[in-house]
A and B are shown apart, each in its own frame.
Chain A
Amino acid sequence: MRKLLTLIFTAALAVACAGSPTPAPTAAPLTHVKLAMGYIPDIQFAPFYVAEAKGYFAEQGIEIEFVTMFENDAVPLVGANELQFANVSAEQIIQARAQGLPVVYVMKWWEQYPVAIASKAELGIKTPADLAGRKVGLPGLYGASYIGWQALLNAEGLPDDAAQLESIGFTQAEAISAGTVDAAVVYANNEPVKLAAAGEQLNVIVVADYAQLASNGLVTNEQTIKFHPELVKGMITAALKGLADTIANPDEAVQLSLKHIDPAPDAAIARKVLDASIEMWKTDSPGVSDKARWEVTHAVLLDMGLITSPIDLEQAFTNEFVKP
């Protein structure tokens, strides 16, 4: 009987408390956002790691989660609104829009298109013209590498068959080292830095020195822009603050980024990759897309037959959220 009375008293107390008109004050809940980034965690995503570590996303009411996958898997997910944001290259957005995906590029991140042609210094390949008749390796006849290669040929007026192309997958560094190709299409901030650290003397032809293409940036979908513009603005604000901090203090950026990268890379090489990346991020107009570059990229894709008819570029990117 005593136990029963205690039980009734406890239950009555619980009901009374539940009905209390003065709940404890709580902070507004954060919006959980998944951000897709290309392939694997890497020091190149430092601006986002920094923004997370310094609470820039939380300041905007965002609880960020980084997910890694291939760009061409992320874009359909963003298009279907299964994901709301991804870091993707501009040419993917043009190709995606050509297939009816409602994806929109909302923030420029990379000022320069990072694709380059690397070769051993002893081969003397210093200009695009020197590539004539050479065997050039690239991951495949698709993606940023292939588009960068074609843009370089177009910019220099070289024929499509100027060099012998060979698809070698993502084995460019090994192929250059082993000499199985004369040159390989690489990312200027990645393979050349790692090969140089391993003692290779290289010549690097950076596509951005010859052709101005639109590069990587933050992408969302039309639905998110329409119904959650504040979320888009918040993501961009946090990312741009992270980018500015990374450029200003690369040492700190490396330290804050390493916890996201498993296995942890060699910190010295990571710093060199970051330094090379920072050179390609520096800009006078953070986040703002240049229409002329989108038009060049669009023209290259049309020329290559990767899109069969022109698309409305005004719908592919917007500067609405990065206006000062």
Chain B
Amino acid sequence: MAVANPLNTPIPSEPNFKPRSLRAHRLLLLPVSLAVMLLVWQSAIWINGFPAFILPPPARVWQRMIIALSDGTLLRHTAITLSESLGGLAVGLAVAAALGYLLARSRTVERLLAPYIVASQSVPVVAIAPLLIIWFGSGLTSKVLICALIVFFPVLINVIVGVRSVEPDLRDLMRTLRANRWQLFFHLELPAAMPMLLGGLKIGATLSVIGAVVGEFVGPNNGLGSLITAARNQFDTALVFVAVIALIAIAMGMYGTVALLEKILLAWKD
């Protein structure tokens, strides 16, 4: 809330100075925390005397990353995992959004399907992943399906909560204005559900990467999961770390993209 300046005097410069200083401090937070993490990592090696095959030092991981980047290994596998994650996220989002809307709008459909949907969540994806590989082959389809299965539930729940969060009064108002079903959906339900939908999408974006890796562990053709498997098999622990860092980068990138999307799509709220 804005505070009036009763004396109509110039606002002292301190408040202007403070935010700039805070901004500078905040900009420093990430590099400082990163440096602390690297120091803790290196110290663990110095103190415990871990050999490189148990815990490789940061410098060794960096060197291995340069090699994996220069020979194309890292980019090739990263691109595959990224495409599986995005594909799974898209499929999971589409199915969860459609089904979530139906469940939110119809108690009958909810009573019919909810027990099965909840029960399906108690099945570990890693247990059914080999079956998906058998049924759909070890290519992109099975990996996308595994990602979609993991993404599905959090997005579904958020869509249901979002659609149900619409104020009944607003719905009544739209009806009195003779809004048809599509107008109700596009002008009321969709904007109202959007914050929750995007919240679910943020969770789904990170889970989708996990789904891709689960699929690649079970049917390791390509991708960062198979790179980890191969590197572990060759006792190249530094390469395992490189692949894990790439996975973190993908997850952070996808999360950041959704956060940006959220900022753009929900700008009207501010």
Residue ranges of A at the interface with B (Cβ–Cβ < 8 Å) = 72-73, 75-76, 79-80, 92, 95-96, 98-101, 139-143, 166-171, 174-175, 178, 180, 306-307
Q: Please indicate the chain B residues that have their CB under 8 angstroms from the CB of A174 in the complex.
A: 130, 134
In angstroms, Cα B53 to Cα A72, docked, is: 11
> Bound complex: CA of A167 vs CA of B262, how far in Å?
38
Tell me, rounded to whole Å, the shortest Cβ–Cβ distance linking A178 to chain B: 6
Query: Which residues of chain B (41-95) have a CB below 8 Å from chain A?
Result: 50-54
Among B5-13, B112-120, B176-184, B216-224, the stretch that binds chain A is B216-224
**Contacting residues, chain A, for B134 (C-beta < 8 A):** 168, 171, 174-175, 178, 180
Alpha-carbon gap, A127 to B54, bound state (A): 42
A99 neighbours in B (Cβ, 8 Å): 52-53, 234-237
Are A140 and B133 CB-contacts (below 8 A) given A75-B235, A99-B53? no
Task: Decide yes or no: A141 and B51 within 8 Å by CB, A101-B235, A170-B130, A306-B234 being known contacts.
Answer: no
Partner of A169, one of B219, B230, B234: B219
* B234 and A140 form a contact (CB under 8 A): no
B220 touches A141 (CB 8 A): yes
Whether the pair B234, A95 counts as a contact (CB closer than 8 A) is yes
Interface set, chain B 114-155, CB cutoff 8 A to A: 130, 133-134, 137-138
Given known contacts A167-B220, A169-B220, A143 and B233 CB-to-CB distance under 8 angstroms: yes
Binary contact track B210-240/A, C-beta < 8 Å → 1, others 0: 0000000111110000100110111111000
Question: Given A141-B230, A306-B234, are A169 and B133 neighbors across the interface (CB < 8 Å)?
Answer: yes
Chain B interface residues (CB < 8 Å from chain A): 50-54, 130, 133-134, 137-138, 217-221, 226, 229-230, 232-237
- Considering the chains assembled together, what is the distance between the CA atoms of A101 and B234 in angstroms? 11
The answer to whether B233 touches A142 (Cβ under 8 A) is yes
* 25 pairs of residues in contact across A and B, judged by CB atoms under 8 Å: A76-B235, A76-B237, A79-B54, A80-B50, A80-B54, A95-B234, A100-B53, A101-B51, A140-B221, A140-B230, A141-B226, A141-B230, A142-B220, A142-B230, A143-B233, A166-B221, A167-B226, A168-B133, A168-B138, A169-B130, A169-B138, A171-B134, A171-B219, A180-B134, A180-B137
User: Within the complex, what minimum Cβ distance (angstroms) separates A218 from chain B?
Assistant: 19
B219 CB contacts on chain A under 8 angstroms:
140, 167-169, 171
Contacts of B52 in A (CB 8 A): 99-100
Complex Cα spacing A168 to B217, Å:
10
Per the bound structure, the CA–CA distance linking A143 and B232 in Å amounts to 10
